[in-house]
Amino acid sequence: MRGKVEGTRTLAHCFCLFHWRWLLGLRLARTASLTLTLSDAVELYRAFPKAKVKVRAGVPEFDLTDAGGVREIRASGKSLHEILEISASYDLISRELVGGFEKTFRYAELLKDWIKNKDKERRVNDAVTNAYLRLLSEERDTFVEMKFGAEKSESVRRRAEEIVNSGCKRGEVEEFDEELIKAGVNPGSTADIIAAALFVALLGGLRV
């Protein structure tokens, strides 16, 4: 009986420790985001053309494809955090950055739980796949929307939602994967967040 009580205390302690780390990480992420400056914004805008990253064109303010973007930023005096707050209305990653990485930390916790509860042989792959589909079902992927438009992005989101609601059956998942590959559709914003979530879970003590 004593061993059971001590074991229960140990489990409770581990849960509280992980939860505390989760809250601390969220707080630190939010604090770090708030320290981003005007200089950071200028350097980021200079980096995008050099990295040849595909970005959304024709946005209302601070267009990354506009050669005058850096001048516009300097004139505005806005920090990178303030600019990210503007783009958060239409960009999933910006929303994550200014929102304290809410989805990253939430999915890190989910991944940790799912991986523990799966059979060892396929638990990591299944957990990551399920997390990816679940996040994709929640929000339209920015990268897909940027490349193919809002209608296609919403179609991909709805398809992911159907698969999640039916229990992420392997056949349906593989069929969806083939559909995306054939169409050249890569929900990359969703993948970025899940990759970050897996990294956070590993830092939080996940063992695979």
Write the DSSP string, 117-169.
HS-TTTHHHHHHHHHHHHHHHHS--HHHHHHH-HHHHHHHHHHHHHHHHTT--
Any domain includes 17: no
Q: 52 or 193: whose pLDDT is higher?
A: 193
Residues 81 and 62 in one domain: yes
Of 83, 98, 113, the one marking the end of a domain is: 98
Q: 189 or 38: whose pLDDT is higher?
A: 189
Q: Which of 15, 9, 10, 12 is nearest to 112 (CA)?
A: 15
The band of 1, judged by pLDDT with boundaries at 50, 70 and 90, is very low
Residue 138 sits in a domain of what CATH number?
A: 1.10.4200.10
Residues 111 and 193 in one domain: yes
Residues 176 and 132 in one domain: yes
Residues 94 and 43 in one domain: yes
pLDDT at position 170 is 92
Residue 161 has pLDDT above 90, yes or no: yes
Residues 106 and 199 in one domain: yes
Residues 107 and 94 in one domain: no
Give the CB-side neighbour count of residue 81, counting CA atoms within 13 A. 12
Residues 117 and 172 in one domain: yes
Residue 130 has pLDDT above 80, yes or no: yes
Residues 133 and 47 in one domain: no
Contacts of 117 (CB under 8 A, 6+ apart): 123
Residues 138 and 79 in one domain: no
Give the CB-side neighbour count of residue 129, counting CA atoms within 13 A. 18
Any domain includes 159: yes
Q: pLDDT tens, 134-148?
A: 999 999 999 999 899
Residue 4 has pLDDT above 50, yes or no: no
Share of the chain above pLDDT 70, in %: 73
Q: 158 or 147: whose pLDDT is higher?
A: 158
Any domain includes 27: no
Q: Within 10 A of 199 (CB to CB), how many other CB atoms are there?
A: 13
Q: Which domain holds residue 94?
A: 35-98
Residues 187 and 118 in one domain: yes
Q: How many folded domains does the chain comprise?
A: 2
Any domain includes 182: yes
Of 61, 81, 98, the one marking the end of a domain is: 98
Residues 65 and 158 in one domain: no
